[in-house]
Structure 1
C-alpha cells in the first residue's frame, strides 16, 4: 500500500493529534446517532456529508468535524474518529 494511502487511513482513525475534541451532548440527536450507527455498521461512508449536515443542524460548529465529514477526497475506514466520537467509542 502506498505511503499516502496509509497516511490517509491513519488520519481518518486518529484525526488531528493536536486537537482534543469531545462531542457536545446537544449534537447527539436521534438523527445524528442513527446516521453514525448506520455508517459504522455498514462501513458505507457515503453518508458522511449527510452526517455533517445533521451535526450542523444540531448546533455543531466545529470545523475539524464538519470538514472531515465533507471532505470529498477523504478516505474513511471503520474507526473513523468522527463516527467513533459520536458513538462514544473513543
Structure 2
C-alpha cells in the first residue's frame, strides 16, 4: 500500500489490525475514515515505524 500508493485498502488494514488485537480507536477510526490517506499518513508511518 505504501509503495504502490493505493490507499483504498486502509479499511481492510484496520480490520486486520483489530483482528490481531489492536484496540487503538484513533488508528482504527483513521484507517476506516475517508482520509485523505497519503504517503506520510501519521497512522501508516506509526505502524511502519517511520519517523
TM-score by length of 2: 0.91
Larger helix fraction of residues: 1
1:84 aligns with 2:45: yes
Other-structure match for 2:10: 48
**Alignment RMSD (CA, Å):** 0.8
1:56 is paired with a residue whose SS is helix
Unaligned 5+ segments in structure 2 are none
Unaligned 5+ segments in structure 1 are 1-38
Q: How many residues align?
A: 51
Shift of 1:62: 0.8
Shift of 1:79: 0.3
Runs of 4+ in structure 1 deviating by more than 6 angstroms, as ranges, are none
Shift of 1:83: 1.1
Shift of 1:76: 1.0
Find the structure with the greater CA-based Rg: 1
